[in-house]
Structure 1
Amino acid sequence: MVQLYQSPVRVYKHPFSLVMLAYERRFPTCPQIPVFVGCEVLKDEESHGGAIRMTERRCKLNVEAPYILKKIIGVDFVYFIQKNVLDRRNSVLEIEAWNESFSTRVTVIEKCRYFVHPGNPEWTCFEQNASLDIKNFLGFENSMEKLAMKQYAQNISKGKEIIEYFIGELKEQGVTYVEPWVDPEKVLTSNVKTLEIVESNDQNIETTESKLSSNKEIKLSSDYIERYLGKLDLMQESKLLRLRQSIQELRGASVPNDATLLRFLRAREFMVDKAKEMLTQSLHWRKKYQIDKLLEEYEAPRVIKDYFPGGWHHCDKDGRPLYILRLGQMDVKGLLKSIAEDELLLLALHICEEGLSLTEEATNILGHPVSQWCLLIDLEGLNMRHLWRPGIKALLRIIEIVEANYPETMGRVLIIRAPRCFPILWTLISTFIDENTRNKFIFYCGSDYQEQNDGGLSDYIDQSYIPDFLGNDSETNIMEGGVVPKSLYRLEVEGTSNEHEHSLYHSISIAHGQLHHVIINTNDPGALLTWDFDVMRHNVMFTVLHESKNSDLATKASPSEECSDDSGASAIKVWKEGCNWIKVEPSIICHDGESIQGTHIIQEPGIYILQWQNPDEGEFLPSISSHKAQLMYFYEVLPSAHYRGSMMSLQSVVSGRSVASSSLSR
């Protein structure tokens, strides 16, 4: 298998001629590279006038391998041929090296180049690439491959330090400047150019930093990678450049910045082909939906500005932008019925684009790479209304799109004030979240988040930035949310929503004095029975009943069936409480226009009944009209295995000491 390595461009802030003099000091031996034992010059020639110098060396390297492996291969040293071509006229040194030893079994080819920095003629750049192909090595191919790449990576990492060492040595000897080579035939012209360089040198130094951020060649420098992307090992650097080159071949000059490339590589565990596929699909998606214009053109609807409880708020202790979402205060159903699912998705994408912009800004301000943001989700007020099925479906769609197009942007997710019903929501959405992202979740139940310096929020957010709604002094510009008035519902949205909901929701009409009920037969103690319904007209009374195994209904009922007034409702209506059935949830009167959500944990197997009644006039509550009651309802039984599993998962990470920690910072 061929192993490829492509280095970033490394920058020496010294002139080319001085770097070349330092480079020559590496020969014939170099104590800074212990494996480099020595070399002999096989050829050293110059062209007429001295513009081109060609040097060929035979280099001797010590084999840094386990003793037993040395004995098996039968050598202590290996030999390489190195050919250097120095073009003094254009200030370029081309180096090519290949192995002489074991050349029939192993092929190693390395190419390097020193050249003048394109943004500053007083600096020098260095780049290299190498390939390793182990064809046959006595059955030790994998071991030799790992050993060779390890040694190569170690020696490459020393390369820049060695040049700097010899430049320092020259300075100690009083050599701080080396006269650039001058073509003897063009002495006068060269002197004029040299004078121009000296006069503009101060200006070049002042403008170098700005050029670093705009010149594509410079963006490949190791200094740039460390400053804007963070620490990468040599193979990660190589794969970053391979992905850039691959995308450039497809898209020409339209290539995302290095931070974006790195995010997609991390999302695919630095597998270049998979990262390329994921990124290519995302770039097509961005172009199709004009995502690049979103920051400039997006205008939030009025209902979002007034009722969406989320916004940016300072940063966490790692310098990541902090987004706060008070999910427990959000009227999901009201927002969707007011603006529709696509508009809510657009809001989420705008938040993601803002996050990318803020991380770039933080990187420039803080002087170190910030590629992710922090999310604080407050669940106070979360209840079963948030489990409204169309809302869950919209949330899952948003998660799917964000995961595909904004990978590795979430640094940490802090979940605070999680109520008992949260595990149900977590069960529904967690499987759609990438495992790497799930590992960044930190859960707090109750008041655990208030602990200071012991796993509380202050471990991750500076105390002065903890928001005011949590009892601190840091004011936020975040709306409190609340119920969206039905007057803001859009009729066209509501109509579309009803069509969308028909596969989940049942529509029924109930005349005065009649009732409608759903019979649910379950043998799963610990399961969770949930319901959600909208009263479209009139008033109704809702009750949840549990019927004993011994009744006639229990022996006849299927796992789930619906009955109306003329199909057995009267029989249920005359059952004796405490004998045939018991009321497991208090009866509630539901008024015209109300939305009701609820849940009941199944304690005992048997028949459970959801019952809606349109009372006779004067019974329970006065009738407001002669019209039938109308409602839409949905119910579901969540298996105990899912519910208990999610609760156990939550309990295992109730404090800040979860799998997510500052060690995940990038």
Structure 2
Amino acid sequence: MSVDLKKTASNGHERMLSSEEQQALINEVRRLIGPLSGKASIYCSDASIARHLRARNWNVKKAVKMLKQTLKWRAEYKPEEIRWEDVAQEAETGKIYRTDYVDKHGRTVLVMRPSRQNSKSIKGQVKYLVYCMENAILNLPPQQEQMVWLIDFQGFNLSHISVRVTRETAHVLQDQYPERLGLAILYNPPKFFEPFFTMVKPLLEPKTYNKVKFVYADDNNTKKIMEDVFDLDHLESAFGGKDDTGFDINKYAERMKEDDKKIPSFWTRENSPSSVPVAPQSLDSIKLDSDSDPSDNEKRESSPGSDPDLDPGMDTEITNHNHENVLVNQGDGSAGLDNMH
């Protein structure tokens, strides 16, 4: 089997593998992780393992470490247990919401409006972002793994900028939801935002940074991105589309409550990802240091979210999750794998 090489963000080359080679690496990761039970078992589908492998350029050792860290985070943070009532206050202004349409590739769309920030709690904002990510994933159609972020900069000003929130958001997105973002469109960002985005670039993995697209309503070249990605009949008028409906918090709350009802059945359905006949281990028994190496530790120390001064509960003026990270990755060879976990 041949392995092709293609440019990537980390070291100049990204491994391109056949489906057989990918499956062999997935199996190896599963063997190293060991048998799991409960929600950890459901989360570790082939699709999920493949996303962690892609995020680490198919390096098994690094993918295993990343996956273990994700499992530990999920066991402690319990994102699948967040419900609408827990975050409804954060959602009131429509600063983040899932649209009722998808893009031309079937990807779930999250709209973000940082100027509608209504909270100074980083902890609350991150919790709502996690809820929105989980909801977007829950609503992905079969054979689609990624989502689109549409970030509207109308009314955005300097008071909405926070490196701390950007850092924490980047950490959650890149480390806990690898390869989930397909594209981020920054729509009509003001001129002062561009140097800020350049400043926070080191917080983003290059592979993620390269998926961000700047679109301006008065630029025909960038406007074409919207036409290529969306059906303009369904796209909101704020982004150059023809839908003038607007955001209604009451209708949105009902949608989210209905979605919440789907969550328990997903996380209790049967799944047998491991063929190794050994007693399954709990998340608490996973040793995170077993696959680390000096280069990984260095990256962790300088990675988003590892700032010792970052207090998740601190109050500060915030931007939202606008400038984080995002990607255009429509053909990643993962079609056919379970989209949710």
Question: TM above 0.5, one fold?
Answer: yes
- Please point out which of 368, 373, 379 is paired with 2:153: 379
Instruction: State the 1:324 CA deviation.
Output: 1.1
- What SS does structure 1 have at the residue aligned with 2:109? strand
2: CA distance, partners of 1:466 / 1:257: 33
Alignment of 1:405 onto 2:176? yes
Alignment of 1:346 onto 2:127? yes
- What SS does structure 2 have at the residue aligned with 1:270? coil
2: CA distance, partners of 1:395 / 1:426: 10
Aligned residue in 2 for 1:640: none
Residues 1:499 and 1:263: Cα distance change in structure 2 (over 3 Å): closer
- Please point out which of 232, 241, 246 is paired with 1:463: 232
Instruction: State the 1:342 CA deviation.
Output: 0.7
Q: 1:534-568 deviations in whole A, cap 9, x for unaligned?
A: xxxxxxxxxxxxxxxxxxxxxxxxxxxxxxxxxxx
CA-based RMSD of the aligned residues comes to 3.2
Amino acid at match of 1:282: T
2: CA distance, partners of 1:497 / 1:268: 27
Aligned residue in 1 for 2:277: none
Contact 1:310 1:478 in 2 (8 A): no
- What SS does structure 1 have at the residue aligned with 2:159? helix
Contact 1:382 1:422 in 2 (8 A): no
Alignment of 1:357 onto 2:138? yes
1: CA distance, partners of 2:192 / 2:98: 27
RCO greater where, 1 or 2, for CA within 8 Å and sep 6 or more?
2
Contact 2:186 2:212 in 1 (8 A): yes
- Please point out which of 312, 317, 324 is paired with 2:111: 324
Aligned residue in 2 for 1:242: 28
User: Whose strand proportion is higher, 1 or 2?
Assistant: 1
Instruction: State the 1:422 CA deviation.
Output: 1.3
Q: How does 1:139-178 map to 2 (within 5 A)?
A: 150=2
1: CA distance, partners of 2:125 / 2:313: 18
Aligned residue in 2 for 1:58: none
- Provide TM-score, normalisation by structure 1: 0.34
Q: 1:627-663 deviations in whole A, cap 9, x for unaligned?
A: xxxxxxxxxxxxxxxxxxxxxxxxxxxxxxxx95756
Structure possessing the higher radius of gyration over alpha carbons: 1
2: CA distance, partners of 1:285 / 1:308: 27
Aligned residue in 2 for 1:335: 119
Amino acid at match of 1:335: S
Contact 1:418 1:446 in 2 (8 A): no
Q: 1:9-32 deviations in whole A, cap 9, x for unaligned?
A: xxxxxxxxxxxxxxxxxxxxxxxx
Q: How does 1:37-52 map to 2 (within 5 A)?
A: none
Amino acid at match of 2:145: S
Q: 1:506-530 deviations in whole A, cap 9, x for unaligned?
A: xxxxxxxxxxxxxxxxxxxxxxxxx
Alignment of 1:433 onto 2:204? yes
Residues 1:241 and 1:437: Cα distance change in structure 2 (over 3 Å): same
Aligned residue in 2 for 1:261: 49
Percent of pairs with identical residues? 20
Amino acid at match of 2:138: S
2: CA distance, partners of 1:661 / 1:497: 31
Instruction: State the 1:450 CA deviation.
Output: 8.6
- Give aligned pairs, total: 247
Instruction: State the 1:449 CA deviation.
Output: 6.2
1: CA distance, partners of 2:32 / 2:128: 32
Amino acid at match of 2:78: Q
- What SS does structure 2 have at the residue aligned with 1:420? coil
- Provide TM-score, normalisation by structure 2: 0.64
1: CA distance, partners of 2:88 / 2:222: 38
Aligned residue in 1 for 2:93: 307
Alignment of 1:279 onto 2:53? no
Amino acid at match of 2:149: L
- Please point out which of 67, 74, 78 is paired with 1:290: 78
Q: 1:145-190 deviations in whole A, cap 9, x for unaligned?
A: xxxx55xx9xxxxxxxxxxxxxxxxxxxxxxxxxxxxxxxxxxxxx
Amino acid at match of 1:318: H
Q: 1:233-257 deviations in whole A, cap 9, x for unaligned?
A: 32112111221232234x3574222
1: CA distance, partners of 2:312 / 2:59: 41
Contact 1:374 1:411 in 2 (8 A): yes
Residues 1:448 and 1:665: Cα distance change in structure 2 (over 3 Å): farther
- Please point out which of 144, 147, 169 is paired with 1:370: 144
Instruction: State the 1:419 CA deviation.
Output: 1.4
Instruction: State the 1:440 CA deviation.
Output: 1.1
Instruction: State the 1:266 CA deviation.
Output: 0.7
- What SS does structure 1 have at the residue aligned with 2:34? helix
Instruction: State the 1:479 CA deviation.
Output: 6.1
Amino acid at match of 1:375: W
Instruction: State the 1:376 CA deviation.
Output: 0.9
Instruction: State the 1:457 CA deviation.
Output: 0.6
Residues 1:449 and 1:397: Cα distance change in structure 2 (over 3 Å): farther
- What SS does structure 1 have at the residue aligned with 2:92? helix
Instruction: State the 1:402 CA deviation.
Output: 2.1
2: CA distance, partners of 1:381 / 1:234: 50
1: CA distance, partners of 2:173 / 2:87: 19
